[in-house]
Amino acid sequence: MSSPTAAPRPATDIDRLAIDTIRTLSMDAVEAAKSGHPGTPMALAPVAYTVWSEFLRYDPADPTWPNRDRFVLSCGHASMLLYSLIHLAGIRRGGPASADHRTPAVSLDEIKRFRQLDSVCAGHPEHHMTGGIETTTGPLGQGCGNSVGMAMASRWLGAHYNRPGHTVFDFDTYVLCSDGDLMEGVAAEAASIAGHLKLANLCWIYDDNSITIEGETHLAFAEDVAKRFEGLGWRIQHVSDANDAAQLRKALLAFKAEQEKPTLVIVKSVIGYGAPKKAGSHESHGSPLGAEEIKGAKTAYGWPADAQFLVPPEVPERFAATLGVRGRQAHETWQKTVADYSKSHADLAAELKNFLDGRLPTGWDKGIPCFPADPKGLASRVSSGKVIQGLSAGVPWFLGGSADLAPSTMTLVPGAGDFGPGDYAARNFHFGIREHGMASACNGMALSGLRPYCATFFVFLDYLKPALRLSALGHLGVIYVLTHDSIGLGEDGPTHQPIEQLATARAVPGLSVFRPGDANEVAETYGVVMQRADRPAVIVLSRQNIPTLDRANLGSAAGTAKGAYILKEASGGKPDCILIGTGSEVQICLDAAAKLAEAGVQARVVSMPSWDLFEAQEAAYRESVLPAAVTARVACEAACGFGWDKWIGPRGTFIGMHSFGASGPAPALYKHFGITADAVAAAAKKLVAG
């Protein structure tokens, strides 16, 4: 674990000036916006300043330096605290080689436009739009979960790439979190994972101010947080006053020295510190203070009462002399280490360069299998497992695991080891029955450059949905391997049979959803997904076997890359109707087409594994697959029909689920709910007849 390069020192006038600058910038920005949360930035300014000025290893000239320490503001409502820090630290919008390097990540003008349209100072921090922000936070607890993934990534990267005399990765992660964060279940799941994995490179700083939106926390929160985290395997440090720099340093130095446990620093603070009327009140948590209250607070700080957005020049200079110098020196040392690395570790150095450049290795896809035609076929979860194993051989940083369901989701890679304190270089991750914490941690891993996958049953999409939404919002290439995709899982019954989950996933902007129809569509799906590191994907897979199609007389599975394609053309190329299927129902559509042909009705069968990819194609291609003139369309999917009108049109018919499922063998369930080739064929005949 890295150590601070500067010895602890007593607080000085310049320290107090810097802290009060953070406070007043936060107050002024919230007041100008007439919206926001000034209380927490005011209270936590000394804490954040101490971390940044004395401990954080970060180069403001290059916010993407891979071995920088991470600072996560999990209590994202306190966003002005982070924007003030980024501005005062002089963080650039991009690295030295970037065209944006001369542009500050957060200028004073941007702070003046806090919470306004097109400002980089959004209401809650968004990492993809503002340099210096490590992750998108706001939904409470998510930053905590992300930080665990970052700490896991640091451990994995260090174990995989570090060699004696060459430390390439050893970054630490600091988190500011609130009462609200620690009430959320995702933070509890993530904390449990971190304690179990002994992530001593992780430090959560808990702002124990006893205030939430509704009022004092005793209304709903009376637990002993320290005892809870002790039980989870964390080291506990107490700081009785957020303004006591000496106590803060002592706690953070203890974190730096800790080798076995993550650290929780419990800091007592007074929300809205310095505001004469609203100090200690929940009102300053979620609303502007007002002009008179701000003047009173500034007077209490010894600040010019009428000054707005005042930044004394000594303050940026102080950040440059502390954070800036320390970060630049550490970055230069790291650059030399990486340059020297290739001399003694040429193969690893070449691999490392691909990783740092965000480039897949040459031949990354050679291990993806091509599956022979097989009428019996494979469950798509099984073919997915084979593809994952093939990709693991070609992409070292492609790794992940399951929420205690690896034997069922087929995500275990033989010989890859089990990630944990005994083997941080292993690539099988065991998240336990913590779907939400798993997904949030995978976001943190993706933010650290890894390509993580996580797995559970599709019905438990509901347990991880908030983290998945942030994957999409943040453009994070997390791969969600979600199996047991329909009533086809059978006897476990309606509690485990997804009905509305496909519609839920498809509704998320920026998320790709795939439901492949056979093993080769599975292989093509992964080929597409792996090349899109800036877009998350949900891959929905069957429990039951589905035939591996004989492509000799059918469309190529390569059509998967376009989202939908003609799988079987109607005789003569002029269809009377179009049958559209996904997943296991593709075979039902093929069987229905054969029945229709016997009756003299010519049907085109379209496999549509990904709505969003198909929608992204040029209009001419979409028209070639689903010509507007053919209005007799039947879609078949063992899920609810929400959204299918877009593809089948006003005359079309949907064959699928209109209720929850039931317990019983899969074939009996498909017959019971009318999801059969006969039903599809009958619906098509009716439409063709007009």
Residue 262 has pLDDT above 70, yes or no: yes
Q: What is the pLDDT of residues 403-416, one digit of tens each?
A: 999 999 999 999 99
Q: What local confidence, expressed as pLDDT, does residue 277 receive?
A: 53
Q: What's the rounded mean pLDDT across residues 371-396? A: 98
Neighbours of 370 (CB within 10 A): 8
Q: Which H helix or E strand runs over 579?
A: strand 577-581
Instruction: Label residue 4 by pLDDT band (50, 70, 90).
Output: very low
Whole-angstrom distance, CA of residue 648 vs CA of residue 670: 22
Instruction: Label residue 289 by pLDDT band (50, 70, 90).
Output: confident
Q: What's the rounded mean pLDDT across residues 622-628? A: 98
Whole-angstrom distance, CA of residue 128 vs CA of residue 150: 16
Whole-angstrom distance, CA of residue 570 vs CA of residue 558: 20
Q: Which CATH number fits domain 555-689: 1.10.10.10, 3.40.50.1100, 3.40.50.300, 3.40.50.920?
A: 3.40.50.920
Is 137 within 8 Å of 76 (Cβ atoms)?
yes
Instruction: Label residue 279 by pLDDT band (50, 70, 90).
Output: very low
From the list 434, 456, 468, 431, the residue with the least C-alpha distance to 189 is 434
Residue 337 has pLDDT above 70, yes or no: yes
Catalytic residue numbers, as ranges: 435
Q: What is the pLDDT of residues 431-449, one digit of tens each?
A: 999 999 999 999 999 999 9
Whole-angstrom distance, CA of residue 205 vs CA of residue 263: 8
Is 149 within 8 Å of 444 (Cβ atoms)?
yes
Q: Who wins on pLDDT, 280 or 18?
A: 18
Within the chain, what is the greatest distance between any pair of CA atoms? 90
* Topology annotation, domain 13-332: Rossmann fold (3.40.50)
Q: What is the Cβ-side half-sphere exposure of residue 426, based on CA atoms within 13 angstroms?
A: 18
Is 478 within 8 Å of 442 (Cβ atoms)?
yes
Domain range annotation of the chain:
13-332, 374-547, 555-689
Opening angle at CA 628, ends 624 and 630, nearest 5: 95
Residue 215 has pLDDT above 80, yes or no: no
Residue 603's DSSP bridge partners are: 577
Q: Who wins on pLDDT, 530 or 3?
A: 530
Q: What local confidence, expressed as pLDDT, does residue 325 receive?
A: 98
* Topology annotation, domain 374-547: Rossmann fold (3.40.50)
Q: What's the rounded mean pLDDT across residues 77-104? A: 94
Cβ burial, residue 219 (10 Å; 0-12/13-18/19+): exposed
Q: What's the rounded mean pLDDT across residues 280-307? A: 80
DSSP one-letter string for 417-445 = -B-BTTBTT--EEE--S-HHHHHHHHHHH
Is 468 within 8 Å of 537 (Cβ atoms)?
no
**SS3 category, 134:** coil
Q: What local confidence, expressed as pLDDT, does residue 67 receive?
A: 98
Average pLDDT in the chain: 95
Q: What is the pLDDT of residues 578-599, one digit of tens each?
A: 999 999 999 999 999 999 999 9
Whole-angstrom distance, CA of residue 308 vs CA of residue 442: 41
Q: What is the pLDDT of residues 154-206, one digit of tens each?
A: 999 999 999 999 999 999 999 999 999 999 999 999 999 999 999 999 999 99
Residue 1 has pLDDT above 70, yes or no: no
pTM for the full predicted model: 0.96
Residue 537's DSSP bridge partners are: 479, 512
Same fold, 374-547 and 555-689: yes
